[in-house]
Structure 1
């Protein structure tokens, strides 16, 4: 007796044809329209930018606005401060997080599951700012670049462990066993076998951590505020001081300049980033 068959889905309805339009409209409303307003307003005069809208400027002020922001907003010093914090943070958290993920993915022990849960707990448990600041003061690292790097590494180590551990479990054990049979030590196995295979996953983790660190003003304000400039912290300070009061054209010009380095990073690594996001589903 043949089992009853389900009727084929009707693909001639309205929704399959409307769905792409709805998706594009949602993307435009959430991303394209705010981005358009930011870029266009950054080229307007002060009078036209008092009420940011979708209208084009009557005259373009690209050079004037961006030049004023570059000089008055202390962009070079803030850019150096952001890079001085972000680059060591990304390198350190990727390296240490990958090594920890390798151990968690390969060790067979009853302690692995609790340690993994502890390692990724930072994703859902935000750090207590007061406790972090007090600890840094006890260690003599409050207001220092090293202290800020340590805070970020502690915050985003969980992200790397979460991404990398699952990916390493898909790598065949035979690759490592063959290297050990040739006399390779664990450090050699990690750097020559495991780490090169983590490129797509680490690219995804890199862009996420860069995004978090580059745009952070909350933790930077409490740890290095007043002692060091970063781009978002500097924007907050000059806006609070009244330099950019009602000067939306300058604020948006600053936002555009602040976003350019991350945009370049994403464009350069977009293929590897997309590959890292989809690698878990393919393997």
Structure 2
């Protein structure tokens, strides 16, 4: 009996320590002055300057332009990955041949196999897409398409075939069946995939740096640029304030989609 009570309490305490301490460190440091934040620690600031630090970062680091750049990459990437991934997953889930099984294995292999960065960059140069937003979106779509296929395929298998058969009897074609019957039922798992893809793409520096090469200023690239240029040298309060600003859109997306996340994960994992 005691173990049943102790285990959930221990889990809550562990989660609070693992998540709460780093979160408090970020918020407390972002609210300090430059002198207090030289050596970041868990002590609260003597005088909270969080709003003032937000204002400095917003203007000095040119955050609005970087925010627009991030949205120009993230939004098309998420839309393309969700549409292409859900359509491919629907076909792979409804076919049971050996060829389909092989295609499914190839489709989700991107989760395990790392992308060849040098080959990707050379290919983009041959196509004339190196250093462009379209090329960057194409790279992200290719990288994270496997994740959507993996989640959505298992979820589609839980949907009864009778629903699609009824739509076909009424004269609906494949596109109409997918858009009117299958796609509305995929909202929970697509919400989960949206969170994951947004998290990956929004915080990415590595692929953005090599593919775009600084031509498009996203939030992570902008933070890397200003920190490397010495603008934020020893200004940990501004760096942590920038991190909070950069995380707020992700928090908003999570708040909107959080009701469907758990059902999407469990629904896609049972099959």
TM-score by length of 1: 0.93
Q: 1:135 deviation in Å?
A: 0.6
Match of 1:7 in 2: none
What is the Cα deviation at residue 281 of structure 1?
Answer: 6.6
Which residue in the other structure is 1:27 paired with? Answer: 15
> Residues 204, 78 of structure 1: CA spacing in aligned structure 2 closer, same or farther, 3 A cutoff?
same
Matched, 1:173 2:161: yes
For 1:148, the equivalent position in structure 2 comes to: 136
Give, in whole Å, the separation in 2 of the partners of 1:25 and 1:257.
27
Deviation at 1:94, TM superposition (A): 0.3
1:1-283 alignment, distance < 5 Å: 11=1, 13=2, 15-280=3-268
Count of residues in Structure 1 that have an aligned counterpart in Structure 2: 271
Measured in 2, the distance between the counterparts of 1:281 and 1:114 equals 19
CA shift for structure 1 position 282 = 7.6
Deviations 1:38-64 (A, max 9, x none): 011101000100111111111111232
Residues 191-244 of structure 1 show CA distances to partners (whole Å, capped at 9, x for unaligned) of 000000000000000000000000000000001122010001110111011111
- SS in structure 2 at match of 1:249: helix
Is residue 135–residue 211 contact of structure 2 (8 Å, CA) maintained in 1? yes
- The answer for unaligned runs of 5 or more in structure 2 is none
Per-residue Cα deviation, 1:74-110 (whole angstroms, up to 9, x for no partner): 1000000000000000000000000001110112322
* Contiguous gaps of at least 5 residues in structure 1: 1-10
Structure possessing the higher radius of gyration over alpha carbons? 1
| Structure 2 contact 57–63 (Cα < 8 Å) conserved | yes
CA distance in 2, matches of 1:99, 1:281: 18
In 2, Cα distance between the equivalents of 1:65 and 1:107?
Answer: 55
